[in-house]
Amino acid sequence: MIAELTTHHLTIAVAESLTGGLLVAELVRIPGASVVVRGGVVAYDTALKRSLLHVDSSVLNVHGPVHADVAKQMAGGVRTLLAVNGVRADIGVSTTGVAGPGPDGGHPAGTVFIGLSKGTGSWAVPLHLHGDRGEIRAETVSQAIDAVRALIAQGDAE
């Protein structure tokens, strides 16, 4: 994905909850990532989703942190939070969900939402994953990378 971002002259910002930094770590593992990766924020605590990423309090109060709208707002919020010289990142990606081992907030383990933001639009990709905590987190990272690649390939991010 770093190559695709570089080719299209796009920057990315990452907001993570259940993946706890694994996604941004995977991105910066690639040489040259500093050209396109603005950075990452781990907002594991719900209050940080609200205060740092500007996720709407009413959405969090009604739905909790595991919801499509939360993922979308996290992705949009991190683009603004990690702006450089007033310029938002071109793409925001976020992860929120339940890694397990048990359910949380009425959601079974493996309930995940990947948020995507670009331009004035935002989307959420719902996932229903299986496996242990580590497998769910690793698969979330893989799916998030695939989602950003698909967004770039569609030309929607330009």
Q: E strands, 8-140, where?
A: 12-16, 37-42, 91-97, 111-118, 121-128
Q: What are the structure tokens assigned to 88, written together?
A: 């938002």
Tell me if residue 84 falls in helix, strand or coil.
Answer: strand
Q: What's the pLDDT tens digit per position in 37-87?
A: 999 999 999 999 999 999 999 999 999 999 999 999 999 999 999 999 999
Domain limits, the chain: 2-153
Expressed in percent and rounded to 5, the helix, strand and coil fractions of the chain are 40, 25, 35
For residue 155, the model assigns a pLDDT of 80
How much of the chain, in percent, has pLDDT values that exceed 70?
Answer: 98
Whole-number mean pLDDT of the chain? 97
Cα–Cα distance between 147 and 72 in angstroms, integer?
13
Q: What's the pLDDT tens digit per position in 10-33?
A: 999 999 999 999 999 999 999 999
Answer yes or no: are the C-beta atoms of 139 and 100 closer than 8 Å.
no
φ, ψ of residue 132 to 5 degrees: the values are -80, 180
Tell me if residue 56 falls in helix, strand or coil.
Answer: coil
* Element (DSSP H or E) covering residue 31: none
pLDDT interval class at 158 (50, 70, 90):
very low
Measured CA to CA in angstroms, residue 86 lies from 2, 6, 21, 40, 148 at distances of 23, 21, 24, 17, 23
Q: What's the pLDDT tens digit per position in 108-137?
A: 999 999 999 999 899 999 999 999 999 999
Topology given in CATH for the domain delimited by 2-153: Maf protein (3.90.950)
Cα–Cα distance between 125 and 113 in angstroms, integer?
6
